[in-house]
Amino acid sequence: MLARYYMFIRSGWSVTEGTQDVFDSTRQAFLKSLPDVPEASHTQLKTKTFAELATQISPEGQI
């Protein structure tokens, strides 16, 4: 959902450095809050761009 929201914001406005920082720190907080996630999935969630995640992640959270 965060990745899709990021893409929505980016489609209508420019993403400033400060806005990018907020999205990046929110992603980090989200990753820390996840229950046991397979290492491969965690790595993908951490390293893929928001654009990649927005198109590759299923509504159920599968990458």
In tens, the pLDDT along 3-49 reads 999 999 999 999 999 999 999 999 999 999 988 888 888 888 899 99
Q: Which residue's entry shows tokens 């989200």?
A: 30
**Is residue 59's pLDDT more than 90?**
no
> Which string of b and e fits 41-55 if b means at least 16 CB within 10 Å?
eeebbeebebeebbe
pTM reported for the whole predicted model: 0.82
pLDDT of residue 20: 97
**Is residue 63's pLDDT more than 80?**
no
